[in-house]
Every structure is written in C-alpha cells, then in structure tokens.
Structure 1
C-alpha cells in the first residue's frame, strides 16, 4: 500500500471531457490531446467520465477507440459507464474491439441502477420495454459473461457461406479481468466476490459505517470499504483498488489560479460537513495545496493508505490551461512525492 517510503503503483486522472454543445468538436479533440499529453508525462492511466444528454463524454468507447490510435502505452478507463443505458451484448462487442486495437489497455468501469433522469427519456431509450428493464447487478454479470467468451447464442455453425459462433466476436482475452465496479460497502463486497476490480470515489454512504454512526469520517468509511473488498476477494493479492478524489496541486499555478482553486473548494466544503439525503451520503473535501501539503494529507488518509493506484478527478468547471497546469503538477511534483515514477522511467 502507498505509505510514506513505499511506491505508488499507478497514477492516473479522471476527466469529464467537456465541450460546447453548439460546437462540440474542439472539446472532443481537446480530450484526445489531454490523453496524449498524459502519456507523454508518464501517467499510467486516463479515465473518462460518462454523461448522457449533457455536453460531456456520452460515448467513452468511441473516445477510447480514437485514443488507441494516438497512444501506445497508457491505460484507458471509464468511470463509469452506466449500464442501464447499454445492451451488455453490444457493449461487449465494442469494448472487445477497442481493447484489441489498444493492445489490451482498456479498463471498463461500470455501474448499475436506474439511469439519472430516466423518466424523462425512457420511452426514447426503450420504447416498448422501459418498465420491464432489469437495472440490477445482473446487467454486470451479463457483460462479464459476454467478455469472457461464454455462449450468448444456442447456435454455432455455417449457414450458406457465413460462419457463426455462439460467443461474442471479437474476443479479447483478459478484458473481463479489467472490469471495474464502484459503490459502497455492499457493492465492494459483491465486486470482490465476482473478482471485479474496485473503484472508489469522492462520495461514501454513512450507512456503511462499521461499529455505529458516531464516527462520520469520509476517510475512515472509505478505508473500511476497501478492507471489506480485499477480505472478500478470492485472490486479494491480485485485486486492484483505485482511489478517486479531487486533488488539485498548486506548485506551478499562478496566484490567480490558486485563488480560483481555493474558492472552488470552499464553495463545495459545506456538503462535506454532514451526511446528505436519505442514504447519508458524505462527500470528501477537495484537496488543494502544494504537493508537499497534499502528500502529507494523502499519506494520513485511510482510503489512500489502502489503495493500489489513484485516479484523481479533474474538477468539472476549470479552464483548459488549468487542466494543463494540474496534470503537469500531478506528474512532476505530487506523483514523485507519493513514491510514483513515470511509466517510461521504470
């Protein structure tokens, strides 16, 4: 685990890939340029947030496909694809195709549950079956079975001059082992039991607290979730856990950037003081500071202490030059202080 003096195995970041709805191409191109820049800086991974009916990445698999042709090494992940809007059969075909193009670098992170704002577009998405859809974890299992090459058809053979198999084509060996799932304590245990990798984020539920609700501390809850995941995984030594927090280094930032970054974090601080909503959702404070300051806070963080790798989240509303500065400082300043070294130097 990444304690002081021990190496951090993998460093990555998560981007929302924003664009102007009236002129989306420049923003989409910018996302691809960010991925290229990340590889040049030695990052291990870039993760794409998935957003539907918003000016953000609605088709992360297409973005990853384009990125495979511009990069050679960096891992490409999704955090996360909401499976409620996907057909696992078709998604498996697309993911396997892109994984083969990448040389085995795709890390599909997925989620389940009723899609956000579903009632407003369910008849457009599923005209005849919107009230019959199963949004449970079975949707993840369907995807896993397809990616593993298990039969999806009861026919294999030749019809005329056309050949058919009973499993998804193309098949990309190993891709199923790179599927990720996020969520709270029960989801962590379920993911472990399925042998799926575990994504953490900047929000937890206080309902997951072990030993009572008197201790409402984000890092403690996240640490307990990771411990539970490892305890239930059949091969804990091979289990991958990624921590995702909003982390903003300021080493090379201008005074004006530092001011805006701190105002951004301060404006979101109130939601971190107490649980929110019926499930008691608790948000992590955004971490802003020099890399020395951030390293001290992370090494003391119970979640970070238990993670194998990190995918720090870029804030939604910053400017392109802000992202350039943050990404560079992550690679050149914070990463080395966390015991990480660029991929090309290992």
Structure 2
C-alpha cells in the first residue's frame, strides 16, 4: 500500500490536439510531480458526448490525447492511464450520486449556465446539466487526496466534496473527501488573438491556439502573428498590455526564467524580438513531444496494450469502491 498521496486528473478529447495551455497548465505539472504521487490519469471521453461529435472523430481524438499524455512524459508503467468509457463504474456511480444531488444544486453550476446562455436552454442536453455529477463520480471512485484542476473547475470539485460528505453522512463512510489543487503558476495561457480570454480548444480562431501536434512552422507563424498592444515597451501588465504579458508568461513558463528576468532580457527591444524568442523557445519545447506522439500513433498495438493495462488497474480500484457504494445503499447484490 503506497503512502504517497493519490491524485486523479484528466483532459477531454474535445480536439485533435492538446494546446499549449493544456501542456503548460496541466500535462507538464503532472509529469513533474508523477514520482511524488500515486497517479490516476484518464481521458474523460464520456463527457465529450455533451457536445455533438462524430463517433469516429471521438475515437481518434481519444487515441491522440493518450499519445500526447505519454509523449509529454507520463510514464504508463508508473501511473494508471486509462479511458473513462473503458471503466463502466463511472456511469454506474454517477446514477447513484445523481440521486443524492438536489436539482437546485445542479442548476447553480456556473459552466452550465454559461453554456446555455450562449446556445440557449433548448439546445442544451441533460448530459450537460448532469456533467458535474459524472465528474464527481470520476473523482470519488478512486478516493484521491487531491484533484488538480483549473480555477474554472473549482466549483465542480466543491460539489464533489459536498456529495461525498452527504453520502457518507447518510449511508456510512465510503468516500474520501478530496481537495482541489489549483496550480499556483503556469495554469493559464491566453489566446494569441484575444489575450483577455483563456486559450481554448473551442476558441473562435485556431490562430489563437498553439497546438501540440502543430508543425514547427505553424507554431512560429501563430506566435509571430500574436496580437500585441499599444506602445513599444516590453513589460508585464495584465490590464494595460495583455498581449505582451501573455507572451512574457509563455516565455517564462517554457524557459524557466522569471517574468522579471524576461522583461530585463527584452528591455529596449521591439515586440518582434520578443515574438521570435518566444517562437523559438516554444518550438524547442514542443517539437520532441509532437514527434513522440506521432511515433505512438503509428503503433496502435502498443497504445492498445498500454490502455488495456491501465483499464485493468483502474477497474480494480473502481469496482471495489462501487461495491462499497452498492452495499451501503442497500442494493441486493448478485449471487
């Protein structure tokens, strides 16, 4: 039995490639801490059904996401790496948790309100409404100590904590109440064309994203075309100079220099100098990850082997937790 803290996290396969924000804000921190924790990393493909997506596209994106996890440095032998839909206990526990969740509680989730405000309530599906309950199931099955998430997911982890405490109070101690782990730095990379908005797989223009599977030429072009600000001074000021601040943040995250050191390096220089340096640094960081991901995608049998091993490890834990849940709520167990 390990004495290391247990951590669970994942990223949706909602695009063909992870982007730089995913890499710097999530994947790289996972890799840096993987030897310090007992890790469960998964691809939450069930959540992808809340948006319309072609089946063949979803399968391909799921495979690409796994390849990028490994290419970014996650060791599939040292971590439990799996696909959400390969572990049916996720959906089974979600039903039980939905029965201890209040309708008003679920309707207050800000992401649901934001998305329905954009597309209209008539266009939203029930899966989008119950998304946070499935996320709670994802978490509670594995009894993690911490859940690394972006700040926009903090409310969902709070709901998870509430449901765990409510279930434990009503049926007996089954779940560990997890903590949200919000990265202190490198957690947010902004859109290159709209530097007041977070870089996103769903952003209006692909020119605002740096994708892990982009070519070196594409990466450099997008950075060199990034929106900057009035004036010529290269300094960090999120309010007055969001474009330059975003580039400085990216440069700092990729090179390991502090923002203050980057400001000093580019003092008296033009925006073009900053863009060239950021492009070179990002290409140097991302190119090996892209090449390794493409190698993995060219060997589907090896990816299948890794996923089969991860599924077996994940189901061993998930099935034990679900068994405890079913016993606690009083289901008649199969003989």
Which structure has greater helix proportion? Answer: 2
Bucket of the pairwise TM-score, normalised by the shorter protein: under 0.3
Using structure 2 for the length normalisation, give the TM-score.
0.26
Which structure has greater strand proportion? Answer: 1
Using structure 1 for the length normalisation, give the TM-score.
0.25
